[in-house]
Structure 1
């Protein structure tokens, strides 16, 4: 029988809540803290929840996701400005790992997949494996919320300080009906030095990718807020106008192409190669005006009929033999400048998702 799992998500391990019932449903879970605001969606092929129910998702039947067995999709924004070199993604653990014989091959495979990966998985305290988010994500899209709105300053305030429209009110539904496609045509707007970016120019086309839609929504947001400010002073009126603008995006209306200077990173491979340079990452700063959408999806982990790791060349590991039941935690966190003995080797957390073995004797979980 396939192992049963529980999935949790939140801003920190201490504030995570169960989202098992949302796995493979395309229902997003909101995460809001002082540092990050966003949504997460989890898909796991052949997922068996803690009650023994097997669920699957249409995500895995898409032509461009064949061979994929799991996916963590996140859309959100950082509420403070961070260098792209200081925003990391990966795994952290609370106690030492029981690494199987041959794990060196797995580590070599990981470094092949992501040359920017750094880790200390043999740590006697808290193992970890982290990479810069902008260079490790297999799929990433970026969009800049445009300047000029009379209520832009209010919109960019932290969630706790503003009762008006939030990112999930303004942007199209998440996740999108189509798979995320790399789109970094506006990432040059996040350059800390707005000098001459590499490359000549790029076009912001009317494609169906999620970020192109995001840009359209952002412009609609500007005009909607401007219009609503003349008719209503309340935040609820502004939100209503914004939602109307969002709904208008699905009319199929074509938009003019606008030529803008960019980094000419047309594919995920080009993006990952370009941002393998620490210098390039340090030149980019993401803040409240930058909407980032990612899809961390691969096929080397299988969750059914057992939890296993399968590598090229026929190498495989039955992970249930070595798993000591501590949660497998995926985190997005800040790089720690200097290590301090007795403290976590990583910095502040933006969001995290954990997968753990479900206990058969547990009753239905309570989600918040």
Structure 2
């Protein structure tokens, strides 16, 4: 199959080739006015080779079965609700999906119950699959930084080192300090203000009632506080609640280190998706060449009358029935601003092996 190349940058439109750094502990730095940090990428048997740092990473007992890893460390330069920080895949054009895609999507939903998607282009011509970052990451560590830390090059931020010398494990002991900023509730929730004319309508009353219920749940979550110590499974379960996510805000003093690593994708001898029970797909047959983009982005903020994607999961409802609702309808992307992007693409050379 064609060799692969990996690109990275602050957005899909600002990518640089980092193929030479793949499977090494040499991080790629990204700095914008919204996020600054660094990342590394490990892919098992990448272009038929695996040695050095990659062999050490994939040879760890706690990474047995893992076939790829995207590790990041960084911080947001202005406070953002963790409910509005998403991670996942975005695409520029419709996908050629194989038979059995439904089973694959059910498996993805099982792995990550907070996942929402429109991979079949029901509401947009740009497929996507996104989840709240704090709920979907298999490994996440939060660290609290001094308020005066100027950048990720500061010595306070450089400790612990990146990438970690040992496999990343969860540490949320200081996450309870990531409280919402002291701003009006209307701005914290990201909901638009209502005009006097619309406040008299039934839809507006219903919206205010729904917002009030969400606000009460969020306030209760803030009063209860984030548990001081959670393992990965406990964290992902805790942040499956929208109210819990809205009660945690990430800003300049919050250093987030993540390792998104799984084993259900194989890159050698061919690109293949593996599912439980022996079910699998040869993805190379369906790959049309467009980059597979992993992004950290913000949730697209919309008004009451603009049902853009991805939408919030209504508490206590069947999200599967709602995840394709609406569309942008304005030619804009279904997601908000991208903070960083890693794209895996087909290279120009052909692997003769």
| Length-normalised TM-score, structure 2 | 0.76
Where 1:74 maps in the other structure, the secondary structure is strand
Counterparts of residues 114-129 of structure 1 (less than 5 Å): 114-123=112-121, 125-129=125-129
Match of 2:349 in 1: 360
Whole-angstrom CA distance in 1 between matches of 2:222 and 2:255: 22
Instruction: Judge conservation of contact 1:9–1:351 (CA < 8 Å) in 2.
Output: yes
Where 2:224 maps in the other structure, the secondary structure is coil
Match of 1:24 in 2: 23
Instruction: Judge conservation of contact 1:38–1:168 (CA < 8 Å) in 2.
Output: no
Within the candidate set 293, 302, 315, 2:279 is matched to 315
1:28 offset after TM fit, Å? 0.6
Cα deviation 1:15-68 (Å, max 9, x = unaligned) = 1100001111111110111110001010000000xxxx6234110000100000
Where 1:296 maps in the other structure, the secondary structure is strand
Alignment pair present for 1:45 and 2:44 = yes
Alignment pair present for 1:288 and 2:252 = yes
Where 1:47 maps in the other structure, the secondary structure is coil
Match of 1:81 in 2: 79
Contiguous gaps of at least 5 residues in structure 2? 181-218, 303-307, 309-327
Match of 1:306 in 2: 270
Instruction: Judge conservation of contact 1:182–1:268 (CA < 8 Å) in 2.
Output: yes
Alignment pair present for 1:197 and 2:224 = yes
Within the candidate set 268, 273, 292, 1:328 is matched to 292
1:130 offset after TM fit, Å? 0.2
Instruction: Judge conservation of contact 2:2–2:349 (CA < 8 Å) in 1.
Output: no
Instruction: Judge conservation of contact 1:3–1:306 (CA < 8 Å) in 2.
Output: no
Contiguous gaps of at least 5 residues in structure 1? 199-261, 362-368
Whole-angstrom CA distance in 2 between matches of 1:110 and 1:191: 31
Whole-angstrom CA distance in 1 between matches of 2:339 and 2:133: 12
1:13 offset after TM fit, Å? 1.2
* Number of residue-to-residue matches in the alignment: 282
Whole-angstrom CA distance in 2 between matches of 1:62 and 1:170: 24
Instruction: Judge conservation of contact 2:68–2:263 (CA < 8 Å) in 1.
Output: yes
Whole-angstrom CA distance in 2 between matches of 1:165 and 1:65: 29
Whole-angstrom CA distance in 2 between matches of 1:24 and 1:323: 23
Match of 1:183 in 2: 171
Query: Which of structure 1's runs of 4+ aligned residues deviate more than 3 A?
Result: 164-170, 193-198
Where 1:54 maps in the other structure, the secondary structure is coil
Provide the alpha-carbon RMSD of the alignment: 2.0
1:195 offset after TM fit, Å? 5.7
Whole-angstrom CA distance in 1 between matches of 2:270 and 2:126: 26
Instruction: Judge conservation of contact 2:270–2:282 (CA < 8 Å) in 1.
Output: yes
Instruction: Judge conservation of contact 1:83–1:285 (CA < 8 Å) in 2.
Output: yes
Compared with structure 1, are the counterparts of its residues 265 and 272 closer, same or farther at alpha carbon in structure 2 (3 Å cutoff)? farther
Instruction: Judge conservation of contact 1:38–1:167 (CA < 8 Å) in 2.
Output: no
| Length-normalised TM-score, structure 1 | 0.73
1:172 offset after TM fit, Å? 3.5
